[in-house]
Structure 1
Amino acid sequence: MSTLEKKALEYHKAGSPGKIATAVTKSVASQDDLALAYSPGVAVPCVEIQRDPELAYDYTAKGNLVAVITNGTAVLGLGNIGALAGKPVMEGKVVLFKKFAGIDAFDIEIDETDPDKLVDIIAALHPTFGGINLEDIKAPECFYIERKLRERLSIPVFHDDQHGTAIVVGAGMLNAVELTGRDIADVKIVCSGAGAAAIACLELLVDIGARRENIFVCDSKGVLSTARELTEEKRAWAQDTQATTLSQVIEGADVFLGLSGPGLLSQADVQKMKASPIVFTLANPDPELRPELVREVAPDAVIATGRSDYPNQINNALCFPYLFRAALDSHASTINQEMKRACVTALAGLARADARFGKDYVVPGLLDERLLSEVTPKIAAAAARSGVARKPVDPVAYSARLAALAQDLL
């Protein structure tokens, strides 16, 4: 067992096992307090909420509470390890919600792999929460589960493995394209990986200006082409091409986007790309090709990974706390494309406004205090503009309140 593995086990076991606990937010120091916290006083808000369900946001924790839900079928790079074994990851997600946005969250591990049953279980739980974060559910079921829940529920449902990755990739890509003097509409993109995260990234890149006809996707069997039998999700990205391998299709590419596995990109592949290539090797913990090996053959490349020990870490924690903070505070019924796009442009702008902006700084760092106060209001404004916000938010006062919260949290 490595030193890191030993430290990780000690960290999770020390003191109170795990990483989270609940806290009481009201005084319970007297008999009178107890009479208000529970019977008989607690009946009064119950009656008010029955009369007007929106009052749950005033009288309960619903408005600051997110469910982090998994069935353990696609946990990190560990695969289908089951619901219980995925619990440390879900607790970790709860920690990030609290640390970066002051959001309370419960982790819920559901021992169910049937998509329809899982949808029914999650839907039945929804009155407790202001939002639902789906996590580590395997493809293609994750697409169906998220879609069905979004159709049924009037609170935000967000599969972070798809959309969180896509948003941060989109922000980094906008800046990488600008730094290398390209137009996103003209770049040739080669993607290694055709799972949930990859497909969500490609859809968002198209949304911010990339052209579908310039995007080539490879899965474990090679290039997605019209000659192959493919699933519905993959068929949408099939190209009429004679290329069958990554090494063939990467010739003349501007961008490599890796959401697959270690060692799937070679230095020879990078050399086939255009000058100043954009290389996002996001497989974790071991990327498709290590940055130092990319740099050996392409010194002018813009490189991003999913790791914290290299520049330009593409980390979902740059977006999901702020998306949910904005959605909760505006009582948004969903997290829609306009809100995701606002998050992309806000993150990209935050990096550009930093003196460190350059090839080694195309996305902000995780501990940047500006994230909460500058990204979140832009998302809330997008929710209002697009008609999904049910509560108005004053942008100036909101930004000031979030800046104060960031000081307390960080």
Structure 2
Amino acid sequence: MSNSFLDKVFDLHRGGKIILASKYPVRTNEELAMVYTPGVAQVVKAIQQDKQKAKDYTIIGHTVGMFTDGTAILGLGNVGPVAGMPVMEGKAMIYQEFAGLNAYPLLLGTTDVDAIVETIKNLAPSFSLIHLEDIAAPNCFAILERLEQLLDIPVFHDDQYGTALIVLAGLMNSLKVLKKEVADMNIVINGAGAAGIAIAKVLNEYGLTNITLCDSKGIVSLTRSDLNIYKKEILNLIGIERPLGTLSDALDQADIFIGVSVGGALNPTMIQNMNNQPIIFALANPVPEILPTELKDFDGIIATGRSDFPNQINNAVGYPGFVKAVLSSGIKKIGIHHIIKAATAIAETITEQELTRDYIIPNVFNANVVPNIVKSLAK
């Protein structure tokens, strides 16, 4: 990035990127009496008698509470909650711009699971949906599970659901372009944290069941003694025992590589050992597992998380519309079947005539994406 571009970035962030604004002006005593006392008392009484009316007469019905402890910010790792605020503000802007939803970014000054769950539970009445953001594994799994049990509103973890949603949509179209069958695919997922495990769950449910999961120590196998309960659970769900080995071993004869790990984890030699026309989703940010420019005479499809290459796998394409669809349809608990329906809607936003190796996922500015997702989850 050039110095001039960075100067613009910092200027844009000065003072923060979002504000709380009023919908109506307050310029007369009558207007003041309507928005505040005495008029507001009648609205209070109406909501007291029927709490569902809060969705019609307050901001709650179209408001998301976003929470982070700053332990897994982008590819930067544990930077703390305050340093994570620029990301949270950006997410809030995307919610408003593409889905017309209000999203409050809230920073958690603790990484203790019990304290986080209790805090969010006590603040939940202010919102119609809870959005968990950039909370590191394995804490994110426990927090999501407990909140789903405790709350009567949906809980969405973008690093799990949002990533799996857009990855599946991209894979659907990649398989169409290359004319490959779902049942034949041998998939390697590198990265066994929040995103990797969620992707594995969603792909397995969709029918892409031949999955090998890798982490920083190589193939995730039940023969290892260092696995947490969430890695054991996903291996039992996949139901295929893998021998110990390296990422390179796992990629031999593989068809699909999905990287949610670290930059530079993949090299051209590894890809040469994959099957013909491989699908490479190198999604580490800001440096992907392999750059498209490193691949010579490549006959497959490659996608990254970056906007300066074709096929950007960007959660922002999916989560605004998905959350809007969840709220519109009254869903109380998000399930994998919801993810699959929404991924199908995203994929089908691009017609088969438009699909190419360099165009497998719609642009975030495609005006059809959000309404298509909303329609896919409508009752």
Q: Distance in 2 between matches of 1:149 and 1:163?
A: 15
Q: Deviations over 1:281-317 (max 9, x none)?
A: 11111111111223x15x2111111001111111111
Question: What is the match of residue 69 of structure 1?
Answer: 67
Structure 1 residues 319-365: Cα deviation after superposition (integer angstroms, max 9, x where no partner)? 111112122233332333332221110011112x1643111111111
Question: Take 1:235 and 1:334, find their aligned partners in 2: how far apart are those partners?
Answer: 24
User: Partners of 2:234 and 2:41 in 1: how far apart?
Assistant: 55
C-alpha deviation, 1:223, in angstroms: 0.7
> Partner of 1:77: helix, strand, or coil?
coil
Q: How far apart in 1 are the matches of 2:83 and 2:151?
A: 28
Counterpart AA for 1:220: S
Indicate yes or no: 2:11 matched with 1:10. Answer: yes
Q: Which amino acid aligns with 2:283?
A: L
- Aligned residue for 2:187? 189
Structure 2: 5+ residue stretches without partners = none
Task: Quote the residue 1:224 is aligned against.
Answer: 220
Answer yes or no: is the 8 Å Cα contact 2:261–2:289 preserved in 1: yes
Superposition pairs of residues 2-401 of structure 1, within 5 angstroms: 3=3, 4-13=5-14, 17-211=15-209, 214-229=210-225, 230-238=227-235, 240-294=241-295, 296-297=296-297, 299-351=298-350, 353=351, 355-379=353-377, 381=378, 384=379
Q: CA deviation at 1:181?
A: 2.1
Task: For residues 156-214 of structure 1, give each alpha carbon's deviation from its aligned partner in whole angstroms, at most 9, with x where no partner exists.
Answer: 21000111010000011111122222221221001111110011111111111111xx2
With over 3 angstroms needed to count, the CA separation of the structure-2 counterparts of 1:207 and 1:273, relative to structure 1, is same
Structure 1 residue 243, shift from structure 2 partner = 4.5
The change in CA–CA distance for 1:336 and 1:225 in structure 2 (over 3 A counts) is closer
Which residue identity lines up with residue 313 of structure 1 in the other structure?
Answer: Q
Local SS of the residue matching 1:133: strand
Q: What TM-score do the two structures reach when normalised by structure 2?
A: 0.95
8 Å CA contact 1:217–1:237 kept in 2: the answer is: no
Partner SS, residue 240 of structure 1: coil
Provide the aligned length of Structure 1 versus Structure 2.
373
The one-letter code matched in structure 1 to 2:300 is A
Asked whether the equivalents of residues 85 and 105 of structure 2 are also in contact (C-alpha less than 8 Å), the reply is yes
Aligned-partner SS, 2:361: coil
TM (norm. structure 1) is 0.88
- In 1, the alpha carbon distance for the partners of 2:369 and 2:91 equals 18
Deviation by residue 1:220-247 (Cα, 9 ceiling, x = unmatched): 1111122201111112344533341011
Q: Following TM superposition, by how much is the alpha carbon of 1:102 offset from its aligned partner in structure 2, in angstroms?
A: 1.0
Aligned-partner Cα distance in 2 for 1:74–1:132: 18
Distance 1:207 1:252, change over 3 A: same
Conserved 8 A contact 1:243-1:249:
no
The CA RMSD over aligned residues, in Å, is 1.5
Q: 1 CA distance for matches of 2:267 and 2:106?
A: 40
% identity of equivalent residues: 42
